Structure 1
Amino acid sequence: MQTHNPPIQTGSKPNQSLFHSFKQSLSFPEKLSNLLLLLARAGLLLCLVASISLVLRSSFTSQTHRFILPSRTQTAVHDPVKNSTSPTNISHIVFGIGASVQTWKDRSLYTNLWWNRNQNRGFAWLDSKPGETGNPVPHKVSEWCFGSGYSCRSAAVRIARIVVESYKLGLENVRWFVMGDDDTVFFTENLVTVLAKYDHTQMYYIGGNSESVEQDQMHSYGMAFGGGGFAISYPLAAQLVKVMDGCLHRYSFFYGSDQRVWACIAELGVPLTTERGFHQVFFFFYF
């Protein structure tokens, strides 16, 4: 009995095609690796040529034509105080006195004790235009301001912005902005002596804390209290102008103007430089 087995397909074409595809798949990575190796060698060669060129250029070029990164002290100098090496005097100080129309008539008596119209520069900043006062201290009305969560209706916001408005006046030859309340008394000769110790081309925040431990604990030992006055160098004021309004929004929950100024300066990374001559006496009245 004969059985017919089905023929087994042994054709060579499918096997040859499969082998050819497998060979191609092996050869592609080999070509890619050669290409990457060639690119790496070319990159190293370019780096070597550039390094040699830089060394040769540095060797045969004078110092004045070299590229030098500016130092920190160079960038801290601002135009109005650039190259000013003369000793600090009263003409280099601009005073900003926080006041209001309601209190200025009586409290200006404190300012009149030390104000010299022939020497002092600055203004009492009021919340509205006053009548005829005959006061020797010049005044300005604070500009209107408002933002998300704050406005100049708040006396604390308005007075905190005095340093910004004083800077925007564009007065010449200013080294220091000195802030104070309408009942702050400055001894201007002593003030000049203290400020002359510091480099006015750098960012300085100079003042003193309160003589009341309770007030220091409530606010901060690192804050200059406005009642005793405080000084801000011109470069620091220039930076405050850029951030003040946004900062007042972030710290709208703070109580006083001096606390808000302190918070804004702290964001700039400038600590308080304590001078005991700036002192605020806190009075308790018992009846």
Structure 2
Amino acid sequence: MSYSPIIQKTIQYIENHLQTDLSLDGVAKQAGFSKYHYHRIFQREVGVSISEYIRYRRIANAANLLLYTDKKIIDIALLYCFESQEAFTRSFKQYYRLPPGQYRKIMSKLLFQKEEIKLKNDQLLKGWILSGSHPSHYEMGIDREVFHKGNASGYLKSVTVEEIGEFTTMMQEFKADKYLGKRLKLSGFIKTKGVEGFCGLWMRVDDHLHDVLQFDNMSNRPIKGDNEWNHYAIVLDVPENSAVIAFGVLLSGKGHVWVDEIAFEEVDNHTPTTNIDFTSELLDEPVNLSFEE
């Protein structure tokens, strides 16, 4: 059984209630499970406990306010439900290795100039390339103001998209050698604004002849419109004759998409794959060969 839709529903609930009291009981109730069962599901799907997820999302939002507003530290602490400035400082130091006041002072000086020096794509996003049908009509980069965790996220956005059907992807490729015969899960957090086509994660497994062995681009569960941060995943088998694994984030049409915390992990055979089976659309036999029907 795939719990992804349930996880996504409750993460959406969490994102909308970060400034209010949140409890394991309340979140589990939203999912319709006991708190113990849901705790196990969430930890397995997302990689952290619910309480840890809530804590680091509050801290990430607080870090944003420290850098981009002049709100007092105590006001930020209370806004995100910390009982005191001291409790907030202890939690903040766990993630950013600095107390909030020092973080604000140091990081504000280090933020690259808002005039934004235009760098080449390969300089701006190490390891990532921009591809697709019309990559020149899009932009990819690093956003240090919108992020899910840490200090930055990657983004794709339309700039001069003119026609329906134009798309781009920020992507990488790597050797499949270490994963042969295994089941691989790609996951990450995505936020969108004004996506008129669709967007999502994608992953493809190719052999040495560049034939596609496994593929999923979330076309059967696309992300559209405006969405706060949520968790998405793709699971594919890596056959023994695999050579290359390609993956990335796809944006079709106009819009803006942010991505953060991309991760790969091996999963067991109890985790269902999301591979798109194109043969399922084929007929068992040819029909209407005389064109009489």
TM-score surpassing 0.5?
Answer: no
Q: TM-score, normalised by structure 1?
A: 0.21
| Larger Cα-atom Rg | 1
Q: Name whichever structure is richer in strand by fraction.
A: 2
Q: Name whichever structure is richer in helix by fraction.
A: 1
